[in-house]
């Protein structure tokens, strides 16, 4: 929702993507029944089983079990542990002690935020692919990728509430452009002036999802300035925001949200950290999946201060385009280079539109990819005399996927 960098600008709630949260601590298939049904999958598309007890005959009748649908494959290789309804097999039938974090595929809050590629990686390479329990076995030698795709589609059907947007629409977070996808995460973002007056701006963001379609966000900035000739540090303008998803389409690869925020004048005016006026902001955010693991995100809005004589009204447009690259044939860690184009304009007579470009790279810090980092550099494209170049960064923790020390 806009960038709290050290230099004055109108992206007040911005610096920073997010990602991953599904616990795949899946127990191994150790029951007798589990060993039998897993054996069906070993033969790929057609697992043959003898039906037997035929009358005396040199050639007993044979029946072929087709594994053509996701449900058939799930029933053959997964149901012994995960149960027919995706909630987990009952303790007396599973043959193992089920951990407290055992996944429930019918629970929409935990099953929808992950992208299909995360599930595919774990089914293909086992729980260790995302630093979860090794009890979850690898199926790469038992199922084709087409079959795994069918299983994932069947797993998705256990969540029957269509209001929850799928993790495939949860695109990487840019430095300044707000996402349309509602999230659960904590993040520290910052910007360091690269020329002119020294300054460092930092903000702690906390984002909490509300149900299937909404999210609240709190931003607490703390800035270090050198505008008076000496270093000073003070709280910036604290912001409280709300975001509401209005539309999403997995088929079209689109998601659209609107939101607003209140920015309180808690900063120090003498040190240049804000504090001049309460500001109300209204915005819209749009995300679009593009071919070849690429994506486009757009975030636009108005800033409407309570005291426009002290802080001018403004309009902004933030756009980010990027592409995700994954190691290990798409199942390993993912890197997302992006380019943002940032525009803002004071709504006063004679004002000009400021344009910035922000090349950046989001990097995975943990194997589980629930802790992400990003590095970028903000470059003014016009009106450069009084505007800063800035190094930008963030560290993001998706706490729903595990603790800070887990998943490495």
Q: pTM value?
A: 0.80
The answer for 116, left when phi > 0, alpha when psi is -120 to 50, beta otherwise, is alpha
Q: Which stretch of 22-31, 57-66, 331-340 has the lowest confidence by average pLDDT? A: 22-31
The pLDDT value recorded for residue 8 is: 40
The pLDDT value recorded for residue 67 is: 75
Indicate the domain borders of the chain. 32-156, 170-401
Residue 110 has pLDDT above 50, yes or no: yes
The pLDDT value recorded for residue 83 is: 81
Measured CA to CA, the distance from residue 68 to residue 76 in angstroms comes to 11
Residue 266 has pLDDT above 70, yes or no: yes
User: Mean pLDDT across the chain, nearest whole number?
Assistant: 83
- Cα dihedral sign, 121-394-221-313: negative
**Bigger pLDDT: 55 vs 72:** 72
The pLDDT value recorded for residue 130 is: 85
CA 23 distance to own-chain centroid: 15
CATH for 170-401 is 2.40.160.40
Mean pLDDT for 339-364 is: 96
Instruction: Indicate the pLDDT class of residue 332, thresholds 50, 70 and 90.
Output: confident
Surface-to-core class of residue 320, CB atoms within 10 Å of its CB (0-12 exposed, 13-18 middle, 19+ buried)? buried
Mean pLDDT for 55-65 is: 45
Per the CB < 8 A criterion, the answer to whether 336 and 324 are in contact is yes
**Bigger pLDDT: 349 vs 297:** 297
Instruction: Indicate the pLDDT class of residue 87, thresholds 50, 70 and 90.
Output: confident
**CA nearest 11: which of 325, 305, 402, 299?**
299
Measured CA to CA, the distance from residue 305 to residue 297 in angstroms comes to 26
Residue 89 has pLDDT above 90, yes or no: no
The pLDDT value recorded for residue 96 is: 59
Residue 41 has pLDDT above 80, yes or no: no
**CA nearest 136: which of 93, 184, 88, 172?**
88
The pLDDT value recorded for residue 68 is: 81
pLDDT in tens, 206-262: 999 999 999 999 999 999 988 767 888 999 999 999 999 999 999 999 999 999 999
Residue 401 has pLDDT above 90, yes or no: no
The pLDDT value recorded for residue 90 is: 67
The pLDDT value recorded for residue 97 is: 62
pLDDT in tens, 274-315: 999 999 999 999 999 999 999 999 999 999 999 999 999 999
Instruction: Indicate the pLDDT class of residue 17, thresholds 50, 70 and 90.
Output: very low
Measured CA to CA, the distance from residue 396 to residue 103 in angstroms comes to 24
Residue 70 vs residues 73, 77, 378: alpha-carbon distances, Å: 5, 11, 47
**CA nearest 366: which of 401, 338, 339?**
401
Instruction: Indicate the pLDDT class of residue 92, thresholds 50, 70 and 90.
Output: low
**CA nearest 13: which of 132, 186, 189, 140?**
189
CATH for 32-156 is 1.10.760
β strands within 277-367, DSSP E: 279-290, 294-305, 314-323, 325-326, 334-346, 354-364
Which DSSP state fits 174? P
């Amino acid at each position: 929702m806009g960038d709290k960098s050290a230099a004055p600008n109108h992206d007040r709630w911005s610096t920073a993507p997010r990602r991953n949260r599904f616990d795949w601590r899946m127990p191994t298939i150790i029951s007798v029944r589990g060993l039998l049904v897993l054996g069906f999958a070993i033969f790929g598309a057609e697992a043959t089983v003898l039906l037997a007890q035929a009358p005396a005959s040199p050639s007993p009748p044979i029946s072929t079990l087709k594994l053509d649908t996701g449900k058939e494959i799930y029933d053959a290789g997964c149901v012994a542990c995960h149960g027919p309804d995706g909630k987990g097999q009952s303790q007396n039938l599973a043959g193992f002690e089920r951990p407290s974090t055992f996944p429930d595929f019918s629970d929409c809050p935990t099953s929808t935020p992950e992208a299909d590629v995360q599930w595919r990686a774990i089914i293909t390479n086992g729980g260790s692919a995302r630093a979860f329990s090794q009890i979850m076995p690898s199926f790469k030698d038992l199922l084709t990728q087409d079959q795994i795709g069918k299983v994932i589609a069947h797993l998705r059907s256990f969540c029957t509430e269509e209001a929850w947007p799928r993790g495939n629409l949860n695109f990487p977070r840019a430095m300044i452009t707000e996402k349309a996808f509602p999230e659960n995460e904590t993040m520290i973002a910052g910007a360091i002036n690269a020329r002119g007056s020294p300054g460092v701006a930092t903000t702690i963001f906390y984002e909490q999802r509300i149900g299937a379609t909404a999210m609240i966000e709190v931003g607490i900035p703390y800035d270090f300035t050198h505008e008076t000739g000496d270093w000073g540090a003070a709280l910036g303008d604290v912001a409280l925001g709300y975001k509401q998803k209005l539309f999403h389409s997995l088929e079209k690869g689109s998601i659209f949200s609107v939101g607003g925020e209140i920015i309180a004048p808690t900063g120090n005016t003498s040190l240049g950290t804000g504090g001049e006026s309460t500001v109300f902001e209204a915005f819209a955010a749009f995300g679009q999946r593009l071919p070849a693991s690429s994506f486009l995100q757009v975030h636009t809005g108005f800033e409407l201060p309570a005291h426009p004589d002290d802080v001018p009204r403004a309009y902004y447009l933030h756009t980010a385009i990027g592409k995700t690259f994954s190691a290990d044939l798409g199942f390993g860690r993912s890197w997302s280079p992006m380019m943002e184009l940032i525009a803002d304009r004071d709504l006063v007579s004679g004002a000009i539109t400021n344009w910035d470009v922000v090349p950046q790279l989001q990097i995975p810090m943990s194997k589980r990819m629930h802790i992400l980092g990003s590095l970028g550099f903000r470059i003014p494209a016009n009106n450069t005399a009084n505007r800063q170049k800035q190094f930008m960064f963030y560290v993001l923790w998706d706490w729903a996927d595990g603790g800070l020390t887990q998943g490495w």
